[in-house]
Amino acid sequence: MKEDIFIGPQIRDIIKDKYFDKLLQGNEKAVWDSYKFVVKGFLGNKRSQNYEEIVNNLLQSYQKLGSTCH
């Protein structure tokens, strides 16, 4: 898979891909795990009650990678 913009079906496929999950380590893995929580608990049909916490965790994970999130 190359770097690109992903749409719903592609995002679901990569989330299910256990091999991709094992490629990541450290802060990258933390960001990926946080992203999966956002997809499942915030962007889906049912919003988790702690959606604010889920999104904040994702932003904090990105910041640890050195990304600036506003």
Residue 28 lies in a domain: yes
Residue 1 lies in a domain: no
pLDDT at 69: 56
**Domain ranges, residue 58:** 8-64
Residue 70 lies in a domain: no
Residue 69 lies in a domain: no
Residue 2 lies in a domain: no
Q: How many domains does the chain have?
A: 1
Mean pLDDT, residues 27-48: 84
Mean pLDDT, residues 63-69: 73
CA 4 to chain centre: 15
pLDDT tens digits, 17-37? 989 889 999 988 998 998 888
Residue 44 lies in a domain: yes
Residue 24 lies in a domain: yes
- Average predicted confidence (pLDDT) for the chain: 82
Least confident stretch, 5-9, 17-21, 66-70: 66-70
CA distance 60 to 38: 13
